[in-house]
Amino acid sequence: MNYTLVLAGNYGDKPPIVLGYFEQEPWARPQLNQQITFRGKTYVVVSCSPTTNPENLTVSYTIEPFNPRYPYKT
């Protein structure tokens, strides 16, 4: 399966940024609110499109940098 990691924007002056692509088995796909490490930084998966795991489509994950002080974002 092909997957795309997209860094979330703020729906204003900061657009979403594609961080990279990776391939993994369908059983090892990240879940919502799961922490993942990519290029040495920790991120949290905030959404997935499409939400199912189709065989022939690329799945796009929107991620945000991990904030241990959530919900009190700074």
Tens digits of residue pLDDT in 10-24: 777 888 889 888 888
Per residue in 10-60, pLDDT tens? 777 888 889 888 888 888 888 899 998 888 899 999 999 888 777 778 889
Please state whether the peptide bond connecting residue 68 to the residue before it is cis, i.e. omega within 30 degrees of 0: no
Task: Name the pTM for this structure.
Answer: 0.80
